[in-house]
């Protein structure tokens, strides 16, 4: 099994387990899929592609604004080239956390480690998984 597949499976299993054990009322989980376009951060030694466009503080503020407008509980991001850049859009200090998979995780030999977002912790129970495409 590839590293990215195990990360996604762990994410789904953990969400279902936590939500089903949390209470008796149903809740919705809003998932967001975001191609964030070469999200890089100046000075991050762990940037995958050093030549990528480096975001400015105003860019990060704009991305946080869009994050809040979408209002998803879980975001699946593509084209992230820097862990520090993820933290600028989804700050750990605000209760966000992230699981990194794909090329970066494989290159860095990272274990699958993540926690639920604080917004996720407040959801009660997942009674049915209704995927709408």
* Tens digits of residue pLDDT in 11-70: 666 666 555 555 545 567 788 888 887 787 777 766 666 666 778 889 999 999 999 999
Calpha distance 126→18 (Å, rounded): 9
Summarised one tens digit per residue, pLDDT across range 74-126 is 888 888 777 788 889 999 898 887 777 655 555 666 543 333 333 443 343 44
The pLDDT value given to residue 120: 41
The pLDDT value given to residue 62: 94
Q: Is residue 59 part of a domain?
A: yes
Query: Does the structure show a pLDDT above 60 at 131?
Result: no
Calpha distance 103→81 (Å, rounded): 10
Q: Is residue 133 part of a domain?
A: no
Per the structure, the count of domains in the chain is: 1
Question: Which residues does 67 contact at the CB level (< 8 Å), separation at least 6?
Answer: 75, 89, 90
77 in the Ramachandran plot: left (φ > 0), alpha (ψ -120 to 50) or beta? beta
Q: Which domain holds residue 37?
A: 3-121
Calpha distance 34→42 (Å, rounded): 21
Q: Is residue 130 part of a domain?
A: no
The pLDDT value given to residue 16: 63
């Amino acid at each position: 099994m590839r590293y990215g597949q195990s990360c996604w499976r762990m994410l789904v299993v953990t969400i279902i387990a936590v939500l089903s054990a949390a209470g008796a009322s149903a809740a919705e989980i809003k998932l967001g899929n975001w191609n964030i376009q070469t999200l890089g951060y100046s000075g991050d030694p762990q940037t995958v592609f050093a030549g990528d466009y480096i975001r400015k503080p105003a860019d990060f503020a704009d991305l946080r604004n869009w994050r809040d407008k979408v209002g998803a509980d879980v975001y699946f991001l593509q084209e992230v080239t820097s862990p520090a850049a993820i933290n600028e859009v989804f700050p750990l200090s605000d209760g966000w956390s992230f699981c990194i998979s794909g090329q970066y995780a494989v290159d860095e030999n990272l274990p699958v480690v993540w926690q639920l977002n604080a917004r996720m912790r407040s959801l009660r129970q997942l009674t049915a998984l209704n995927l709408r495409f």
